[in-house]
Copies of this chain bind each other. A is one copy, B any other.
């Protein structure tokens, strides 16, 4: 077992995510709690060519920097449960690397602007990557999901507070 973390990796944002959520508190905590909520992705204009063929996909995976989350903790009390949980067993933003992931609906592509739906992302969030959602690669409906099995449905109405600010 070696613990050398190796060099850090640095990523320049490829664009910005825009939404109606301007404060880290009071937000949906997952796309399942943000059904129909629209937002946009504004891609950097020098990357426009990378959007070819994307409009054939009805969902996309957004990977982004959780830029307003400062500090991290190995154990957190998540929004959906009163018990402390290991950070890697949660989707909490207070992670060692504050990287966020959301599977959102792609409504349309117009130049460098994507219209998206089911948006649980803070306005102004720096976007790191867009990947097409491919059910054959990404959809596993029957998996066990631990402590979330009894509470995941609450994500439809639970809203965030400022505990991870």
Q: Is the CB of A49 within 8 A of B155?
A: no
**Residues of chain B contacted by A148 (CB below 8 angstroms):** 132, 134, 136
A153 at the interface (CB under 8 A from B): yes
Question: What residues of B have a CB within 8 angstroms of the CB of A59 in the complex?
Answer: 140, 143
Secondary structure of the A side of the interface? mixed
Total count of chain A residues near the partner, CB < 8 A: 81
B-facing residues in A87-134 (Cβ within 8 Å): 87-91, 95-97, 99, 101, 103, 112-113, 126, 128-134
CB of A45 closer than 8 Å to a CB of B: yes
CB-CB under 8 A from A141, the residues of chain B are 135, 139, 141
- With contacts A86-B49, A128-B9, A143-B57 known, is A137 near B112, CB below 8 A? no
A88-B132, A137-B32, A137-B155 known; A145-B96 Cβ under 8 A? no
Q: Whole-angstrom distance between the alpha carbons of A144 and B63 in the complex? A: 20
Q: How many angstroms between the C-alpha atoms of A137 and B28 in the bound complex? A: 12
Separation of A129 and B50 alpha carbons in the complex (Å)? 25
A60: chain B residues within 8 A (beta carbon):
88
Query: A3 at interface (Cβ–Cβ under 8 A)?
Result: yes
Tell me if A75 is interfacial: C-beta within 8 Å of chain B.
yes
Q: Does A37 contact B (CB under 8 A)?
A: no
Ordered by A's residue number, 6 sampled pairs between the chains whose C-beta atoms are within 8 Å are: A53-B86, A90-B132, A99-B129, A132-B148, A135-B142, A137-B155
In addition to A61-B101, A135-B140, A136-B145, 20 A-B residue pairs with Cβ atoms within 8 Å of each other are A6-B12, A9-B11, A9-B126, A10-B11, A12-B97, A48-B74, A49-B75, A49-B86, A50-B88, A51-B86, A56-B89, A56-B149, A57-B143, A60-B88, A63-B99, A101-B101, A133-B140, A135-B145, A136-B153, A137-B155
